[in-house]
Amino acid sequence: MKIKARTIVPGKAIGEALVINDSLSFYGGVDPNTGKIIDRHSPAYGKIISGKILIFEGGRGSTVGSYVIYSLKKNGLAPKAMIVLESEAIIATGAALARIPLVDRPERNLLEIVEDGDRITLNAESNYAIIEIQKHGS
């Protein structure tokens, strides 16, 4: 299955999906030294975002979240790419600083389609990205 989205930070990535059916605050929600989600209210509490294609609603919280995203990259613990339903300045700035591919506004709600472990191929090298989904076990 292929889905189009808007490119915010260009790039390519291939990897396993980690889906969070909620917004995510990187500041106080993700440990930049482990890549683990530490927000106890998150449905993904305890999961590791490192090396994943992170799919979530969008960002929330402090502007310091941008620097947490950058720290994750600097520490080798960043996601390979991020796909959000609607991007905002904190996530976009962090992704740009860290050079992590970021897309938003997918033409279909990926939170209803993608599951943890699905293989995602993201090509976001133009204004519109192509997200290719291969279901886990297919």
130 near 4, Cβ under 8 Å?
Answer: yes
Residues in the chain: 138
Please state, in angstroms and as integers, the Cα–Cα distance from residue 134 to each residue in 14, 42, 51, following that order.
Answer: 11, 25, 17
pLDDT of the chain, 138 residues: tens digit per residue: 999 999 999 999 999 999 999 999 999 999 999 999 999 999 899 999 999 999 999 888 778 889 999 999 999 999 999 999 999 999 999 999 999 999 999 999 999 999 999 999 999 999 999 999 999 876
Q: Give me the domain span that covers residue 27.
A: 2-134
Q: Model's pTM, two decimal places?
A: 0.94
Q: Is 62 a catalytic residue?
A: yes
pLDDT at 138 (0 to 100): 63
Tell me the two tokens of residue 138.
């297919």
Beta bridge partners of 97: none
Residue whose tokens read 């915010």: 8
pLDDT at 73 (0 to 100): 97
CATH code at 26?
A: 3.50.30.10
pLDDT at 62 (0 to 100): 78
β-strands 81-84, 102-104: how paired?
parallel
- Among 50, 62, 66, 138, the active-site one is 62
Number of domains in the chain: 1
Mean pLDDT score of the chain, rounded to an integer? Answer: 94
